[in-house]
Amino acid sequence: MMTKSETLAAVVKLPKAFYEMHTISPHDLLVASGYYENFEKISVEDIHQFLRTHIEEIGYWFRFSEDKRASGGWLIEAAADGEFEVRLVRGGAPKHRFSSREMACAYFIKNELEWIREN
């Protein structure tokens, strides 16, 4: 079983691995990360703290969101006013707005991981 720290690193780097491997699904990467065993231990704040020292991973998550072909899950977008919006692809849920790119990405990551885990 992977530790919380190992899982946290693996899930934050999930889209990078997805783009580099081309042969494994996000779901399979999530399973391999240990997230299913550690999901309750990993919070938005944990992800935010990790992103603050691994800022290069944020671009991969924005690309992952932009490339989304699924009819479900979450999206992250830069708003015209310089803030960031995170929302469900479908479902009419309200948009969550953030002034911090890192916090918006952390919120997006946690919600997208949970959507993948539950679907």
Q: Where are the domains of the chain?
A: 4-118
Instruction: Enter the tokens of residue 106.
Output: 């952390």
Tens digits of residue pLDDT in 98-112? 999 999 999 999 999
Tens digits of residue pLDDT in 42-100? 999 999 999 999 999 999 999 999 998 778 899 999 999 999 999 998 866 678 999 99
Average pLDDT rounded to a whole number, residues 1-19:
96
Amino acid at 35: Y
- Global pTM value: 0.95
Using CA atoms, how far residue 84 sits from 2, 19, 69, 90, in Å, is 32, 23, 21, 18
